Amino acid sequence: MTGDRAVFLDKDGTMIEDIPYNVDPALMALAPGAAEGLTRLHRLGYRLVVVSNQSGVARGYFAESAIAAVEDRLRSMLAELGVPLTAFVYCPHHPEGSVAEYAIACDCRKPAPGMLLRSAREHGLDTARSWLVGDILDDIEAGRLAGCRTILIDNGNETEWVLSPGREPHHRAADLGQAAQIIEEADAFDLRTREAPR
């Protein structure tokens, strides 16, 4: 039996406006196209999972406990749209961090796929039927390693452009609204392909 379909979503720069290392819920605002995109993805039947690198913990910029308020605020913003969030997963690590317990090389920090794979196991998700949407190529690499189709939000946040086959997005979009449209069109194509006479 296959698992549910999901869209794994980067948080900063994809779902919400990118304010580096922000943990103040009052400063959080949905990114352009996010409300439309999240609503459409929910309507299409996708479960939504946030996968976010939070190296500010390892760098000593804020305590790990501060992330709970960010999650609460994000869930309430989505609830106002009628959109549930299946999971909010984050990685507090960075190998060059200044806080010893978090200054480790881990399997969860993107571009590693650990957050996606763990969420898939815990929530019965099928990564082969799922998507990853993010605004940098580390997101894309994590999605590909987990077996997802991928969309890069090409909004200027990727600045290094270290490309390789494992970091090449399947699609590019201007924002989350356009990404959701791409996913809906891909669903329609997949359905037509399955229903075509053989």
3-state secondary structure 103-144: CCCCCCCCCCCHHHHHHHHHHCECHHHCEEEECCHHHHHHHH
**Strand 131-134 to strand 149-153: parallel, antiparallel, or no bridges (unpaired)?**
parallel
Query: How far, in Å, CA of 175 to CA of 159, rounded?
Result: 17
What burial class does residue 172 get, using C-beta atoms within 10 Å of its C-beta: 0-12 exposed, 13-18 middle, 19+ buried? middle
Which residue shows structure tokens 């999605």?
143
Tell me, yes or no, if 135 is annotated catalytic.
Answer: no
Q: Point out the catalytic residue in the list 4, 10, 139, 154.
A: 10
**Around 197, how many Cα atoms within 13 Å sit in the side-chain half-sphere?**
0
Residue tagged active-site, from 12, 135, 138, 175: 12
24 is catalytic: no
- Which residue reads 């229903």 in tokens? 195
β-pairing verdict for 87-91 and 131-134: unpaired
- Residues serving a catalytic function are 10, 12
